[in-house]
Amino acid sequence: MYTKELLESIKKVEAAREKNVALEPRRMTAEEKETLLRTYHPDYKEGEFAVLSIGPNKGEKVPTELAALLQGNSRVDPAEIDLENPDYDVDVLIIGGGGAGTSAAIEADNAGAKVMIVTKLRMGDANTMMAEGGIQAADKENDSPAIHYLDAFGGGHFAAKPELLYRLVTEAPEAIQWLNNLGVEFDKAPDGTMITTHGGGTSRKRMHAAKDYSGAEIMRTLRDEVLNREIPVVDFTAAIELILDEKGQAAGAVLLNMETKEILVARAKTVIIATGGAGRLHYQGFPTSNHYGATADGLVLAYRAGAKLLYADTLQYHPTGAAYPEQIFGALVTEKVRSLGAKLINVDGEAFMHPLETRDVSAASIIRECSDRGKGVKTPQGYAVWLDTPMIEIKGGPGTIEKRIPAMMRMFGKYDIDIRKQPILVYPTLHYQNGGIDINRECESGVPNLFVAGEAVGGIHGRNRLMGNSLLDIIVFGRNAGKSAAARAQDTTTGALSLEHVSAFQAERSAAGLSDETVSPKLLPDYRRKK
Amino acid sequence: MENMVHVFLFGKQYEVPASLTIMGAMEYAGYQLVRGCGCRNGFCGACATIYRIKGDRDLKVCLACQTQVEENMYIATLPFFPLVKQVYDIEKVTPTQQIMMQLYPEIYACIGCNACTKSCTQELNVMQYIAYAQRGDFEKCAEESFDCVMCGVCSSRCPAGISHPQVAMLARRLNGKYLAPKSEHLENRVREIQNGDFKELLEGLMQKPIEEMKELYNNREIEQ
């Protein structure tokens, strides 16, 4: 239910609706976009970054909160861990039970490996579950993997690793087919043609979806498949340190039961990190659209074991986080709302930008509207802009919202806002970790036998990711990581287990004069009231 | 001064701001959640919750992350419910009524009390989708159950011991894999890629200098 002031503001949006629906706002030029990003995008806020003083990326800058964790103290004292009698002994250990981890598990299981998933919450408590809008694949006549490549490469500011992006776009149609064959229900026309839309920065309509539960539909299907295959899943158990062997190869992990605090040891021939993102670190004080466990744990584990990170200084702020009511502050409002025709409107009722610029540009543009331009709408939490959802019904006909974005309708409906009739308030929310662990085309990190997939990887998307390329990457790289790790496990002999790298890192820490008491990985945020 | 309400978390009284969700209220009261908290956005089903407003006969259910607290709300969370999940090979099953009889025969013991529907945190017509499953109408069962977050509250209220979310999961997978129309354009494209059709074009792109890529990107044609 909107306040009196907000209802007053809505009148301007309504008055201009007819004109704004017909308007096709101009897209920004390359120069305009660059200036906008430099001035308003959070990635360019100098004071929010710190230079790493130890580890593989020493001398590079990362967000202040991440720097503290990457350089933090271990949760374990190596001397107290019994590595001689592992509690688990498997071929492939997968850390993380989201879309990437489960895809990897299915493929490693297919390859005949003995697989185990450990996850600090439940399987499926992951950003995959919350991805709403869709998944990209160039499978239409007027499209091709080459056009997909160009869209993603340009959208990511020409920084993606070409060999990774090549895999992403060429294996995309097969990823959709794989999911469909597992039983994922994509939106299709009666003749079987996939219903596809645009996302910000796409030049072809290649966004496949399952209503606005795209990620949930994929995640619950993958979870069901893991259960059907009876792959062991150890839930409520976090990996808190990687274990290497005497040759420096990844060889397992130290685990922590999140409830009983019991410490366990898993030995493995290969390890896959599929731990996801970092929204719950709330960089720069932003709210987040991420799940409860998104605390960059995998980056911390890998960094301490010697793996290099790539583009860890770049984050994605989703342009449209819910800005009202406060109960859903920061929750994701899918980009699909704009794909279906809703435009961004400022306090004066102006459609101030093209609704489908890339996410970084859109976020910066909204921040500009709400700051220097003074055209934001005042809300109890700050400022926001309107996203005029009733436009969707004008464009697509009555019933479009209920059919295509039921989750959005439900989310706002709980607070008596009918998005078919009233616009909603949005402001950028911390959404995605563009950077992560550097990998090669086989998904292997700089540490032998340590593979990475999903949001924990850096380099697939460059410095900004397009909508629908993350659900895609967790499937493509999740599957590849599973295959690579299973193949490697076959011809790996694991030597004596060691945590020497943890002690060495601790020594490096002291030598660099780092004396703070930060303990990492963080595992979970703490939202208890500070008295 | 914030507007405060009284809530009872597992019977114990706390005073919390009226604007909070149940999940926010638990954290405000001092709980560091491990169970009963997943996506915090209404998609994962981790925070199923049962509550009763003092003096009210009705027992209500909700997701803790999606529901605002009220005065005199008695709250108990249901972070896990032992659903029955039958194991099957998706490649070997067939989308006939037979499969439901074989894997989830208890659905035929439904007594039509509609407690499942009344308890659904997503306001789905649960009993109706079970009826579709009984008849082997998987397409309708899939459609009706699509927004299910598998929180399990329906099953906790079912006198027949049905694991509704798992029944619906099976129906959706059968529908997605076997019943929904095939996408010819997708199959063609996968074949073309396997055939190496785009290899040369892409490898050419990968080798272009950045300046040339910028030129291509900034002038690319955008489908209307």
DSSP calls for A316-340: EEEEEEE-SSGGGTT-B--THHHHT
How many contacts does A have with B, using Cβ atoms within 8 A?
221
- pLDDT at residue B1 in the model: 58
Task: Mark yes or no for CB contact B177/A215 under 8 Å.
Answer: no
Domains of chain A: 4-40+320-430 (3.90.700.10), 86-314+434-499 (3.50.50.60)
CA distance B90 to chain A (A): 7
Question: Which amino acids of A are annotated catalytic?
Answer: 318, 338
DSSP state, residue A288: B
CA gap A419, A342 in Å, rounded? 11
Q: How confident is the model at residue A1 (pLDDT cuts 50, 70, 90)?
A: confident
CA gap A476, B139 in Å, rounded? 28
Digit-coded pLDDT (tens) for A391-402: 999 999 999 999
* Beta carbons within 8 Å of B191's beta carbon, 6+ residues apart: none
Contact A273, A262 (CB under 8 A): no
Query: What residues of A are in contact with residue B185 (Cβ under 8 Å)?
Result: 139-141, 193-194
Measure CB to CB from residue B175 to each of A129, A185, A204 and give the nearest one. A185
Digit-coded pLDDT (tens) for A61-118: 999 999 999 999 999 999 999 999 999 999 999 999 999 999 999 999 999 999 999 9
Q: Which residue of B has its CA nearest to A237?
A: B34
CA B154 to chain centre: 13
Measure CB to CB from residue B38 to each of A122, A181, A186 and give the nearest one. A122
Give the Cβ contact number of residue B131 at 10 Å. Answer: 17
- pLDDT at residue A424 in the model: 98
Q: Is the ipTM of this complex over 0.90?
A: yes
Whether the CB of A380 is below 8 Å from some CB of chain B: the reply is: no
Digit-coded pLDDT (tens) for A312-353: 999 999 999 999 999 999 999 999 999 999 999 999 999 999
Contact A156, A310 (CB under 8 A): no
Backbone angles phi, psi at A63, to 5 degrees: -55, 140
Question: Does A521 sit behind a cis peptide bond, omega within 30 degrees of 0 on the bond before it?
Answer: yes
Question: Does A325 sit behind a cis peptide bond, omega within 30 degrees of 0 on the bond before it?
Answer: yes
Identify the CA nearest to A385 among candidates A340, A337, A347: A347
Query: What residues of A are in contact with residue B201 (Cβ under 8 Å)?
Result: 144, 146
Whether the CB of A12 is below 8 Å from some CB of chain B: the reply is: no
CA gap A531, B12 in Å, rounded? 20
Contact B165, B152 (CB under 8 A): yes
Q: Which residue of A has its CA nearest to B201?
A: A146
Measure CB to CB from residue A124 to each of B34, B44, B216 and give the nearest one. B44
Q: Choosing among B5, B20, B44, B197, which should be mutated to test the A contact, i.e. which has the most A CBs within 10 A?
A: B44
Averaged over A275-294, what is the pLDDT? 97
Measure CB to CB from residue B41 to each of A217, A331, A406 and give the nearest one. A331
Six-digit token pair at A60? 């590079």
Q: Which residue of A has its CA nearest to B211?
A: A158
Would the pLDDT of A364 be above 90? yes
Backbone angles phi, psi at B59, to 5 degrees: -95, 125
Domains of chain B: 4-77 (3.10.20.740), 97-179 (no CATH), 184-213 (no CATH)
CA gap A163, B206 in Å, rounded? 8
CA distance B51 to chain A (A): 17
| Three-state secondary-structure class, residue A164 | helix
Query: What residues of B are in contact with residue A29 (Cβ under 8 Å)?
Result: 218
